Structure 1
């Protein structure tokens, strides 16, 4: 037995309504954040340029507005922009012309002759290094003779060999350094035209002249929790219904509960009650009332015996009807 329970919200309808609120909130927030601007560099304006249509999960068509941001530069800034564009076009033309030259240039393999580099280094260094080495040799020979060491002796031969090896290492290092320098110069010469074209292609990127527009505060619009409101309302209705039915079954805390538990009839004759007020109905439509038994200050909730079927009630010895609440539905 109980008052009719509130119908649970339809998930699809709730979701659809929530989606519509979400879409409205998004459009409201977008409209509030699209702030036009005017500055010394130009102006920024948003205009609606159309709309797009989409289908929601329920098959309904939703129209969403579309906007375009339009930037208009001031005359001086527009002139700077035009010149920058022109300069970029000139660089592109130069790069295009030079790239045609690279086709033939790169078809020839890179060549480097180590022996030519060594000969170049030797020719460049011999005018200063060889005379110095000759002076070092003569000086060592005089020192050895002064020490009493003669050509042909082991000590003389060892000292002269040490000097010869050092001078040979010096000439080898000259050749190595010369080859390295010559290779770097040859590689630079080879890559120079390529680097020039690459620089022209990369160029200076064309950007909007002047300062960018100011950052405007972004408004955050709190969305409507429609689903939460629906569910909360349903829960409140259910709780109120359950509380009402709990009071009915309690009938003061013990009467109907005990009667239903043990299948006993409970006095429900209209003639035994007063202050009768209707407050609802059961699932089958039987009216539910609040009332007091005559002479009692306590309020109860229940049905009237004259409004239930015969199989739900019985007459007592006092001529008043009792109701089997476990049969009421």
Structure 2
């Protein structure tokens, strides 16, 4: 008698697939936990008990745990200890200075435009004013040699042009000097803040494991248990259907033969 195969139980198939996936994951972890030895020290792995959880079916699942240990050579350990001590000192200085920063920032940043303009004028006038005087004297000489005299329209126009040029030069001196003075005042204001920021950057703790080389990674192919179960069921179902088809065909042939014999 030919029977139709029973479809696989989805939950049992999923549970079996989940178990195989865990086995694959554990195998891959064990393969990838390769101890390393390099000029800086060693990296090793050791069992560290296990951890458990309850899966979706209520079953308690236990998986192994491991510890990665990085050990420096004596020379590298000495360097590391000194670096840690230096970072600790820097962090202490940053902490001490940052405590003063609040009081420092309570005083608002102030900048006096007039003081900056006066500073720029005093700085540049010693060179610009004598040059402007020489330019004016040269212009007067050139105008007289051209036949122009003080008080004439042409004379006044040229002298006014020179006066405006001198004024623009002094204004540009004031603007440039103000910009430079503002940048210097702001830099002086920010200097303590920048120093503390630099100290904090230098006191960051680094991960010693980063000194070691990368752990080689191997890939373990998982088992497609669900696919295999499905393929097996489809194969059994096809065989069953073929067998049933053969029986029906045989029955039909026998029936036709009986009818012919009766006739």
Q: Give your verdict on TM over 0.5.
A: yes
Q: Is the 8 A contact 1:25 1:222 kept in 2?
A: yes
Q: C-alpha displacement at 1:210, in angstroms?
A: 9.9
How many residues are paired up?
262
Q: Give the structure 2 partner of residue 247 of structure 1.
A: 246
> C-alpha distance in 2, partners of 1:146/1:207?
80
CA contact (8 A) 1:53 1:64 kept: yes
What corresponds to 1:226 in structure 2? 225
Considering Cα pairs closer than 8 Å and 6+ residues apart, tell me whether 1 or 2 has the greater RCO.
2
Cα shift readout 1:208-263 (whole Å, capped 9, x = no counterpart): 5798333344222222222222222222222222222222222287235x58xxxx
TM-score (structure 2 length as normaliser):
0.90
1:69-117 Cα shifts (integer Å, max 9, x gaps): 1111111111111111111111111111111222221111111111111
Residue 195, structure 1, aligned to residue 194, structure 2: yes
Match of 1:71 in 2: 70
- Let me know the Cα RMSD of the aligned residues: 2.4
| Runs (5+) with no aligned partner, structure 2 | none
- Going from structure 1 to structure 2, the CA distance change for 1:151 and 1:53 (only over 3 Å counts) comes to same
Following TM superposition, by how much is the alpha carbon of 1:158 offset from its aligned partner in structure 2, in angstroms?
0.7
Q: Secondary structure at the match of 2:63?
A: strand
Structure 2 counterpart of 1:108: 107
Output aligned runs, 1:205-224, within 5 Å: 205-207=204-206, 212-224=211-223
Higher helix share: 2
Q: Which ranges of structure 1 fall in alignment gaps of 5 or more residues?
A: 268-315, 317-329
User: Relative to structure 1, is the Cα distance of residues 217 and 117 closer, same or farther in structure 2, using a 3 angstrom cutoff?
Assistant: closer
1:27-106 counterparts in 2 under 5 A?
27-106=26-105
CA distance in 2, matches of 1:131, 1:217: 77
Check whether the contact 1:95–1:201 (CA below 8 A) recurs between aligned residues.
yes
Deviation of the 1:187 alpha carbon: 0.9
For 1:125, the equivalent position in structure 2 comes to 124
Bigger fraction of residues in strand: 1
How far apart are 1:265 and its partner, in Å?
8.1
Give secondary structure in 1 for the equivalent of 2:211.
coil
Greater mean alpha carbon deviation, residues 142-151 or residues 225-234:
225-234
